Amino acid sequence: YPAIGERRLFDLISAAGGLSDKAGRNVTIEHRGGEKVELQLSSNLAEDTKNNVDVFPGDTIIVSRAGIVYVVGDVQHPSGFMIEDSSFTVLKALALAGGSTRTSSLSKTKILRQTPNGIQEIPVNLKKVLYAKAPDLALVKGDVLFVPGSAAKAAAYRTGEAAMSLSTALAVVAVRP
C-alpha cells in the first residue's frame, strides 16, 4: 500500500483492511537500508500507542501468522486453536475445547512439542493443575495437548448404565399384573 506523507504503522494496517483472524501479534518493519524493527502488538491496538511507530516510504511491513495449538483426545470438542501470545496455557486450551469428558484420564495428559531433536513429550498432571496444585504450563505454537481416555472409567460407566437399565427393566416387570 502506498504511504504518501507521514504515516504510522496502525494507519497502514487499517489501510490494508486491519489484521485478519489468522494474524499474529509479531510485526517486523524492514527499512530501506536493511534495518529491521521488531514489535509485539497487544491484543487491543487502541491502547497500544507505543507500537504505533512511524513508517517511511520504501518500508516493508510483515505481520506474522498466529500459531496454532491442537487439543485432542478425550475432550468435548477436539480442535486447533489460534494463539496470539505467550499467555496461552493448558487450562485455556482445555476450556476452548469444551473441557474434559467424564472418562478422561487427567493425570496422564501430555504436551507433544516438536523440537530440533524430535518430538518431546511433556507430562502434565491436569488433575493437579485444575486444583492449583501444579503450575499451568504455557503452550507454544505447534503444540498438541493430548488428553487420554481411561478404559477403567469407561468400563465403570458402562457397567453402571447396564445395571441401571437392568434395574429399570426389573421394576417394570415387577409392576405388571
Q: Give residue-wise pLDDT tens across range 47-71.
A: 777 888 888 888 888 888 888 899 9
CA 139 to CA 61: how far, in whole Å?
Answer: 27
How many Å from the N-terminal Cα to the C-terminal Cα in the chain?
Answer: 85
Ramachandran angles phi, psi of 17, nearest 5°: 100, 10
Residue 151: pLDDT band by 50, 70, 90 thresholds?
A: low
As beta bridge partners, residue 145 has: 71, 111
Residue showing cell 485432542: 72
Stretch 127-153: mean pLDDT:
86
Question: How many residues are listed for the chain in this entry?
Answer: 177
C-alpha cell at 85: 501470545
pTM: 0.62
The sign of the dihedral angle between the CA atoms of 128, 132, 134, 139 is: positive
Lowest mean pLDDT among 1-10, 20-29, 48-57, 148-157: 148-157
Residue 113: pLDDT band by 50, 70, 90 thresholds?
A: very high
pLDDT of residue 156: 60
Q: Are strands 144-147 and 67-73 parallel, antiparallel or unpaired?
A: parallel
Find the DSSP H helices in the chain.
9-15, 90-96, 126-130, 151-175
Residue 154 in 3-state DSSP? helix
Burial class (CB in 10 A: 0-12, 13-18, 19+), 160: exposed
Ramachandran angles phi, psi of 116, nearest 5°: -60, -25
Beta strands in 23-175 (DSSP E): 23-30, 36-40, 54-55, 60-65, 67-73, 79-83, 109-115, 118-124, 144-147
Name the DSSP class of 47.
G
Q: Give residue-wise pLDDT tens across range 118-133.
A: 889 999 999 899 899 9
C-alpha cell at 133: 496444585
Does the structure show a pLDDT above 70 at 172? no
Run of H or E residues at 8: strand 7-8
